[in-house]
Amino acid sequence: MWKIAIVGFGNVSQGFLRILKDKKESLKERYNFEYSITAIADPVKGSVMNASGLDVDFLMELFDSEGNLKSHPNRTDLGSIDIIERSEADIIVETTITNLETGEPGLSHIKAALGAKKHVVSTNKGPVSVALPELAKLAKENHVEYLFEGVVLSGTPSINLAKEALAGCDIKKVMGIVNGTTNYILTRMEEGTSYEDALKKAQELGYAEADPTGDVEGWDAAVKAQVLANVIMGHQIKIEDVQRTGITKITQEDIKDAAKRGARIKLIAEVEKTNGTVKASVSPQEIPLSHPLANIMDATNALTFTTDHLGDVTIVGPGAGRVETGQALLTDILAIHRKYCKI
């Protein structure tokens, strides 16, 4: 049985825990996968720990009724690092807030977990962007896994698709729509809505934050392009190396002109390998209507992999959502389960 501790109890971790709860019997029958949750660490919502395993049904009922875990009988005042080290977990699920400047607090959480010989699965883009080589080395030295499928397209396979399903292919280029917020805005603008009104609607729907800079200026897409370059192309670059242009200067006239030319404007993250050199960029591009990416609308994401054996392979799916991103965590955990066969 796998013991799992969760660090950060926001929407993604909540979605993940509900998946585990709802599919407990199915996971056992299909994959011989059994688990217990030994801890949840969240300084705002409350931290709980029980090495023998927490009652997930009771835990979720308490959270649904009170919005936090502060009255749980297994409440603890220990900090996240102490919980990681003392929870007796085999796997740490790290889903704290993304920080692209320092990677913290997630970076320290992941280092502590790997150093304690615990596997880590995470949807946190910050540590991947800031310190992937260091974290990969630390995981290797301690004979554990550090997996982060959800950082690019949430639960829609991207890293796993490239490294496993496309194994043996040379991937020459990856290009795609990796930010649902900007794609939603561009979709509304094509329908005649102004940029300002489309952004406001995206914020009302929860697609965009109160400060939408990370999305509309292309930072979110840029870090995903960086991850694709580092992980899939095997070429280490920094986020500053990604040429970046957002959508804030796109007008309805631009969109109409593109339509006249048989194209749509999309914010495209692109990584390409040429003669051993890898270049990564994010920019609005006119995509011909004949290309699969041109027909990706609203908050949907998609990636096209250009390969030597298969030509272009495109995958389409959701790039956000609590259950969708929770699925990425489950995918990574099941990959660890298959590799290490802990029964």
Q: Please give the positions annotated as active site.
A: 224
Residues in the chain: 343
Q: Which residues contact 131 (CB under 8 A, 6 or more apart)?
A: 103, 107
Q: Which residues contact 146 (CB under 8 A, 6 or more apart)?
A: 110, 114, 119, 120, 122, 135, 136, 138, 139
Amino acid at 329: L
Tokens of 176: 């795609």
Are 108 and 115 in contact by the 8 Å Cβ rule? The answer is no
Are 9 and 45 in contact by the 8 Å Cβ rule? The answer is yes
Tokens of 143: 């004979």
Instruction: State how far the Cα of 320 lies from the Cα of 301, in Å rounded to an integer.
Output: 9
Instruction: State how far the Cα of 59 lies from the Cα of 66, in Å rounded to an integer.
Output: 11
